Amino acid sequence: MAKQTWKPGNMVYPLPAVMVSVGDKEGNTNIITIAWTGTICTNPAMLYISVRPERYSYNMIRESGEFVVNLTTEALAKVTDYCGVRSGRDVDKWKETGLTQGKANELAYAPIIEECPVNIECKVTEVKELGSHHMFMAEVVSVQVDDKYLDESGKFCLNETGLLAYSHGEYLGLGEKLGTFGYSVKKKTKK
């Protein structure tokens, strides 16, 4: 197998495609699609999003110090893309997409997106100005989940929501389950 050497770049794919909802102190809200996001820490629960300073939502996050990461699904792929390619300076994304603003449990300005199966409410703890993007590190202060994905025992079946992934310019579904955590070393039970 031959390999080519390319200039340095981010090739960590796939990533979650999420819609981040934001608000400012004047009551304006917006949705921005983000793929530069991930877990920072389990305890306390923390995550990050990276946003270009020229994006419309950037100043709302800086001012309010909060945002909601809304996990998106295959059924929401088109509106997820729309919220990433249209600016809130020019259009009301809520109106254009038909998405519904809901009340966050712990935030004052940023709404949740009702149609998303998971809404992760975040308060910014630090901003790292890294270059093209600034990283908003945030503590998770509340999580809302759609109860239609709870099974009879109360377990949340996240993988049944049809989560959306982003890879190298394309949106993808997650596909079939290949294993579970630790399956490669799990001892076989004798029958």
105-to-27, 112, 120, 142, 165 alpha-carbon distances in Å: 17, 9, 10, 7, 26
Secondary structure element (H or E) that encloses residue 62, with its range: helix 56-64
10-residue stretch averages of pLDDT, the chain, 191 residues long: 89 93 97 96 97 98 98 97 97 98 98 98 98 97 97 95 94 89 84 69
Q: Give the DSSP H/E element, type plus range, for residue 83.
A: helix 77-85
CA distance 163 to 24: 28
Alpha-carbon distance 186 to 106, whole Å? 40
Helix (H) or strand (E) holding 132: none
Q: In what order do the strands lie in the sheet with 170-173?
A: 15-16, 164-167, 170-173
CATH number of the domain at 15-173, please? 2.30.110.10
Q: Determine the pLDDT at residue 1.
A: 87
Indicate the pTM of the whole model. 0.94
At 20 the pLDDT is 98
Name every residue whose Cβ is closer than 8 Å to that of residue 170 and which is 6 or more positions away in sequence: none
